[in-house]
Amino acid sequence: MIVVALLVFASVLVAALGGYLLLSPGDPQKREITKRLALLELRNIEDADMPDVLKNDLLSDVPPLHRILASFDSALRIDMRLKQAGMRMKVGVFALLSLGGFGAGLLLGALLHWPVMISIPVGALLLLVPNTAVNIRRRRRFKTFMRHFPEALEMFARSLRAGHSFTGAIQLVAQEMPDPVGVEFQQVFDEQNLGVPVREALTGMAQRVDSLDVRFFVTAILIQRETGGNLAEIIDKIAHVIRERFRIQAQLKIFTAQARMTGMILAFLPVGVALAIGILNPEYLKPLWFEKAGKVMVALALCMQLTGALVIRKIIRIKI
């Protein structure tokens, strides 16, 4: 219990300190000066091997916390995932939310007098809540992007055929297409307007949108700019290929519907039967929970169920 109390105290202290630094109003002029000094400090570091994202963006509005996060490569990966999810949250806020969740789990375990072996897993689950939320939003954003991407490519090709320049076609897509397609094309347009080479601007979009179709689009444009050719026709063919992939994926979902339903039934049927028996006759299942052999059988059954679900998932997931 002493170890749990120390962990709870440390976690709550870190969360409280971070919340105070991030949320305290303070003097607006002082905050603005501090932010400008931090940006100036980053721009002056030219000899250090610092990635470009750290030269342009702060990982936290608190300079000490930013310097701590900048020393970890994982902070850059988290920052990229936050951008891919379309979230304006800083890495510092994300880290403090995760640590706060872990501290809340330990505190809950200490208040309810849970064993350490239960409090730590509960804290670990709460620690993963922000990351799960970011992953869900990132996946939804990618799905929305890919749903509108073929239409954006066709609009891009029609704009080129109408006589617009390459940057004009990008600007048209940025203005006409909804988020997130319009936002990503707008960022490409703004970057190349500010002097960033087109190759770097397009590569940045391919990094923000982790999709094979976007990489096809970027690669086709970069090759066409070096070798020449009819860019509008190339983009039309890419859009056609993407739409055909969507059609084949929809057909595969129909063909694998029975297998997916079978997997779900096989995964949840034992749990449902156990719950029904536990409600109708609670004494019947007591040996499974209180006998050593019963606990081993439950653990073995869970492992077999998980293995079977993963095998079925592997079989029905066909990549195109």
Taking only the tens of pLDDT, the chain with its 320 residues reads: 444 444 544 554 444 444 434 444 444 444 454 444 444 444 444 434 443 333 446 777 777 777 877 777 888 888 888 888 888 888 888 988 998 999 888 888 888 888 777 788 888 889 999 999 999 999 999 999 999 999 999 999 999 999 888 999 999 999 999 988 999 999 999 988 888 898 999 998 988 888 888 998 999 999 998 888 888 999 999 999 989 988 888 888 888 888 788 878 888 888 888 888 888 888 888 888 788 888 888 888 888 888 888 888 788 777 76
Q: What is the Cα–Cα distance from 85 to 79, expressed in whole angstroms?
A: 10
Same domain, 208 and 223: yes
Same domain, 288 and 247: no
Same domain, 200 and 302: no
pLDDT on residue 148:
92
Same domain, 44 and 104: yes
Same domain, 157 and 121: no
pTM for this model (two decimals): 0.67
Q: Is 138 among the domain residues?
A: no
| 164-184 burial code (b ≥16 CB/10 A, e <16) | eebeebbbbbbeebeebbbeb
Domain boundary among 74, 101, 127: 127
Contact 104, 120 (CB under 8 A): no
Q: What is the Cα–Cα distance from 268 to 320, expressed in whole angstroms?
A: 29
Q: Is 175 among the domain residues?
A: yes
Same domain, 224 and 269: no
Number of domains making up the chain: 3
Q: Is 139 among the domain residues?
A: no
17: tokens are 């300190």
Q: Is 185 among the domain residues?
A: yes
Mark out the alpha helices in 87-211 (DSSP H runs). Answer: 91-111, 116-127, 129-161, 166-176, 181-193, 198-208
Q: Exposed/middle/buried for 96, CB within 10 Å: 0-12, 13-18, 19+?
A: buried
